[in-house]
Amino acid sequence: MKQSLEMKEALHKLGGHFCPEWVQECTHLVMESLVLTIKAVSALLSARYIVQPGYITDLLESFRTKKRKPDPNNYLPILKESSLSNTDISFAPDEIRSRLFADKTFIFHDAKMMKKLQFCIKAAGIFIFIFEFMSLY
């Protein structure tokens, strides 16, 4: 809780703010370790940096001391996703990734799930359909 409050204060001093959900205006996602959540996928598809909390701290310090901003590539979190291998994977922003699903069609059987993934869908340029089963009995 204390770390979260300190993060919010640091963001405020930098002129930013904390968003509990991913929105298009987000410029960075802060994670101690990388797990593929909806927010993380949204950041990846939006070609935004995913950084460790130390980046925000060091960024604030660079503004205070008028030194060069830290390189976000030095603050990429460690992958904690057991289903993926750490070998030769980069989670730095990549514009190619943002077009990975362009012009593809995803079919959802549940409007609730589609709404949950709404930003990922928009960021990736995905066409969507909702296919709801109707009972004939």
DSSP state of 14: T
Taking only the tens of pLDDT, the chain with its 137 residues reads: 466 888 889 999 999 989 888 888 899 999 999 998 888 988 988 899 999 999 999 999 999 999 999 999 999 998 887 777 666 778 899 888 877 777 777 777 778 877 777 777 776 777 666 666 555 55
Domains of the chain (ranges; CATH) run 2-130 (3.40.50.10190)
What pTM did the predictor assign? Answer: 0.79
Rounded alpha-carbon distances, angstroms, from residue 60 to 6, 9, 19, 72: 12, 10, 18, 13
